[in-house]
C-alpha cells in the first residue's frame, strides 16, 4: 500500500457509511447506493485515496443492485483476497493504493473478461467527463 490514513483522519473525511464499508468491510444494501444506476461517462475513484479505479466504459447493468464493472482501469489498481465470511467463498476487492474495501469480484460478468466487479457506491466517488 502506498497511502495510509489515521482512523481520526478518515472519521473526519468519510461519512459513517463510507467508513464502515471501506474500513470495516461492510456492504451497502442493494439498489440504495448513489452509483448503482449511474449512466454518466466518467471515472470512478476510491473515496479514501482518490485513485482512479473503474472507467464508466467498463460499467454494465448486472441487475445485482451495485455498480458492476467488467475490469478495473489497470490490473494492479485493485487487490484480490479470499473472503470466506458468511459461509461463502468469495474474492474481496480492495484498493491497491490504500487498502480500502471496495466489494467483490465474481466470474459471471460479460465479455471481454467474464468478470463482474461488484462495488459498493459508498467506496467510490465519481468524476464526470462532462460530455
Residue 52 in any domain: the answer is yes
Residue of 46, 49, 95, 118 with catalytic role: 118
Query: pTM of the full predicted structure?
Result: 0.91
Q: Which domain does 12 fall in, by range?
A: 7-128
Contact assessment for residue 57 and residue 65, using Cβ atoms and an 8 Å cutoff: no
Q: How far apart are CA 18 and CA 50, in angstroms?
A: 14
Contact assessment for residue 66 and residue 34, using Cβ atoms and an 8 Å cutoff: no
Query: Which of 56-65, 75-84, 119-128 is predicted with the least confidence, judged by mean pLDDT?
Result: 75-84
Each residue of 77-101: pLDDT tens digit?
A: 898 877 766 666 778 999 999 999 9
Contact assessment for residue 25 and residue 101, using Cβ atoms and an 8 Å cutoff: yes
CATH number at residue 15: 2.170.150.20
98 catalytically annotated: no
Give the chain's domain count.
1
Q: How far apart are CA 37 and CA 123, in angstroms?
A: 15
pLDDT at 131 over 70: no
Amino acid at each position: 500500500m502506498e497511502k495510509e490514513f489515521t482512523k481520526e483522519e478518515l472519521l473526519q473525511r468519510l461519512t459513517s457509511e463510507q467508513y464502515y464499508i471501506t474500513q470495516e468491510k461492510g456492504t451497502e444494501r442493494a439498489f440504495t447506493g448513489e452509483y448503482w444506476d449511474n449512466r454518466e461517462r466518467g471515472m470512478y475513484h476510491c473515496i479514501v485515496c482518490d485513485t482512479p479505479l473503474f472507467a464508466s466504459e467498463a460499467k454494465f447493468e448486472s441487475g445485482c443492485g451495485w455498480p458492476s464493472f467488467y475490469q478495473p482501469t489497470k490490473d494492479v489498481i485493485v487487490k484480490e483476497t479470499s473472503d470466506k465470511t458468511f459461509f461463502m467463498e468469495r474474492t474481496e476487492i480492495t484498493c491497491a493504493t490504500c487498502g480500502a474495501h471496495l466489494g467483490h469480484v465474481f466470474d459471471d460478468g460479460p465479455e471481454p473478461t467474464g468478470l463482474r466487479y461488484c462495488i459498493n457506491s459508498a467506496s467510490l466517488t465519481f468524476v464526470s467527463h462532462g460530455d
